[in-house]
Amino acid sequence: MIETLISFSIATLALAISPGPDNIYVLTQSLVNGTKSGIATTAGLMSGCIVHTTLLAFGISAIITASEELFYAIKILGACYLVYLAYKVHKSEENISIVAKAPKKSYLQLFKTGVIMNLVNPKVLIFFLAFFPGFLWNKEGNTVLQFYVLGIIFMVLSFITFSMIAMAAGRISSLILEWKNVATFLKWMQIFVFLGIAIFILLP
C-alpha cells in the first residue's frame, strides 16, 4: 500500500509540474493579478476534482466487483489513452503561451471559474479513469475508499504544486522568456511522464 501511494504521489507531482492548460492558466492569473488570484483559481480547479473522484469511485468500483477481466481491460484502455496524450504532446508545437493580459476578477469569480473549467471538461474524468485504477492497492477491499484516498492525495499535491507555481510566477515567466529551450524540455518531460505512467499501470 505505502509503495503504491508513494508511486502515485510521484506521478501526481510529475503531472502537476508538466505544462498543461490548468497550470498555465494559474500562471497567467498569477502574473497578471497576483499570487492570491492564482491560488483562488487553483482552489476552484481542485474542488472540481471532488466531483470527478466521486463519479469515478462509485462507477468503476462496481465494474471491479463484477469482473476482474473487465477491470484489466479498463487499465489497458487507460494506458492507451495516456500513450495517445503523449503522442498529442509530441505532435504539438514547442511553445508555451502566456497571455499578456487577462481580465481582473474577484477571488470568488476565479474560484468559480476554476470549478467550471474542471467540471465541464470531460477529458478530466477520462484522465482520472485512465490514471487512478492502476494505483488501487487492494481490489478485493473497499475500492470506493481507495479512490477517495487517491483523489485526496491528487488534490492536495496538485494544490500545493499549483500554489507554488502561483507564488513563483515572476521567476517562472523570466525563465520561460530567457531560456529558449525550456519549451522543448517541458514538452519532452510531459511525454515521458505520460509514457511512464502508462507503463506503470500495466505492470502486475
pLDDT in tens, 182-204: 667 667 776 777 788 778 777 76
C-alpha of 180 from chain center: 25
pLDDT of residue 139: 75
What is the average pLDDT across 14-27? 76
Share of the chain above pLDDT 90, in %: 14
- In angstroms, the CA 71 to CA 62 distance is 10
Residue 107: its pLDDT value, please?
A: 87
The secondary structure of the chain in percent helix, strand, coil, rounded to multiples of 5, reads 80, 0, 20
Query: For the whole model, what pTM was predicted?
Result: 0.73
Asked whether 119 and 48 are in contact (CB, 8 A), the reply is yes
Residues 118-132 have a mean pLDDT of 78
How high is the pLDDT of residue 70?
A: 73
Grid cell digits, residue 110: 476565479
Phi, psi of 172 (to 5 degrees): -65, -40
Task: Specify the pLDDT at position 97.
Answer: 53
Residue 177 predicted with pLDDT over 50: yes
User: 86 falls in which pLDDT band (50, 70, 90)?
Assistant: confident
**3-class DSSP assignment, residue 142:** coil
Number of domains in the chain: 1
Predicted local distance difference test score (pLDDT) of residue 151: 93
For 146-175, the pLDDT digits (tens) are 999 999 999 999 999 988 888 887 566 666
What is the pLDDT averaged over residues 102-127?
Answer: 79
Question: What's 17-63 look like in SS3?
Answer: HCCCHHHHHHHHHHHHHCHHHHHHHHHHHHHHHHHHHHHHHHHHHHH
Judged against a pLDDT cut of 60, whether residue 133 lies above it is answered with yes
11 vs 175: CA distance, rounded Å: 24
Higher pLDDT, 29 or 1: 1
Tell me which residue range forms the domain holding 192. Answer: 2-202
Any idea which residue has 470506493 for its cell?
A: 144
pLDDT given at position 199: 82
pLDDT at 100: 47
Interval 30-53 mean pLDDT: 86
User: Tell me, what's the pLDDT at 148?
Assistant: 94
All three cell numbers of 146, joined, read 481507495
Between 32 and 108, the more confident residue is 108
